[in-house]
């Protein structure tokens, strides 16, 4: 895909609005250093911020400078790269709130998601499309821009279960189950960069 102005403007950048003591409203794009503006109201600042962001990106493109792209993190409930922060973000696709307490214990309850464990939330999403039934009105369906990482989830599970074994043993366990090419395609969409050939073990 060509990375032109339309490409960058279609990305899900984090637009943050905050009210300042002096009475003005500040709007900024977190991933784009120096991309910010002010206005009298939140509505105005958001409208102006989009134009400021367009001008910012066009200038960077003209100068041939690197333009940061928004990072996405894995939602452990629906397996989409849908989170904009590493912890405690709420997934717009399934409405699960990422909670570090569930990472090593999918049956844990009592955290950010109340009495719904990660394991139950995963089953709920597969059954009706939300982490719990009460969230059906606020979730959205995944789009073609949303990246699902089924294979990556399998790899993490196998590594966790076999954490006391060495790398060669772990590889043998998931070699038969994991499509290495698909795994690397999924990883290439995150901050990690692996080549397919690196995972071919003779």
Domain spans of the chain?
A: 5-63, 77-142, 149-202
- List the one residue out of 194, 106, 197 whose CA is nearest residue 153: 106
Calculate mean pLDDT across residues 161-171: 55
Calculate mean pLDDT across residues 162-183: 56
Task: State how far the Cα of 102 lies from the Cα of 175, in Å rounded to an integer.
Answer: 26
Calculate mean pLDDT across residues 93-116: 90
Per DSSP bridges, beta strands 15-19 and 81-83 are unpaired
Task: State how far the Cα of 177 lies from the Cα of 167, in Å rounded to an integer.
Answer: 16
Over 80: is that where the pLDDT of 87 sits?
A: no
Pick the CATH number of 5-63 from 3.40.1350.10, 3.40.50.620, 3.30.160.250, 3.40.50.2300: 3.30.160.250
| Band (158; pLDDT cuts 50, 70, 90) | low
Over 50: is that where the pLDDT of 111 sits?
A: yes
State residue 199's pLDDT score.
42
What's the chain's average pLDDT?
80
State residue 58's pLDDT score.
97
Which residues are bridge partners to 18 per DSSP? 26
CB-count exposure of residue 33 (10 Å: 0-12, 13-18, 19+): exposed
Which residues are bridge partners to 83 per DSSP? 73
Over 60: is that where the pLDDT of 126 sits?
A: yes
Over 70: is that where the pLDDT of 151 sits?
A: no
């Amino acid at each position: 895909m060509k990375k032109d102005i339309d490409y960058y403007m279609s990305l899900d950048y984090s637009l943050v609005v905050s009210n300042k003591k002096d009475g003005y409203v500040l709007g900024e794009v977190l991933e784009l250093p120096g991309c910010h503006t002010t206005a009298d109201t939140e509505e105005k600042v958001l409208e102006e911020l989009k134009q400021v962001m367009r001008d910012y990106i066009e200038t960077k493109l003209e100068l041939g400078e690197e333009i940061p792209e928004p990072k996405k993190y894995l939602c452990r409930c629906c397996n989409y790269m849908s989170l904009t922060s590493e912890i405690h973000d709420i997934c717009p696709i399934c409405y699960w709130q990422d909670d570090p307490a569930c990472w090593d214990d999918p049956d844990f309850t009592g955290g950010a998601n109340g009495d719904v464990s990660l394991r139950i939330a995963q089953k709920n999403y597969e059954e009706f499309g939300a982490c719990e039934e009460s969230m059906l009105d606020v979730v959205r369906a995944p789009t073609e821009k949303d990246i699902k990482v089924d294979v990556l989830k399998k790899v993490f599970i196998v590594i966790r279960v076999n954490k006391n074994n060495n790398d060669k043993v772990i590889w043998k366990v998931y070699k038969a189950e994991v499509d290495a090419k698909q795994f690397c395609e999924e990883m290439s969409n995150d901050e990690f960069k692996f080549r397919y050939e690196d995972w071919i073990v003779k």
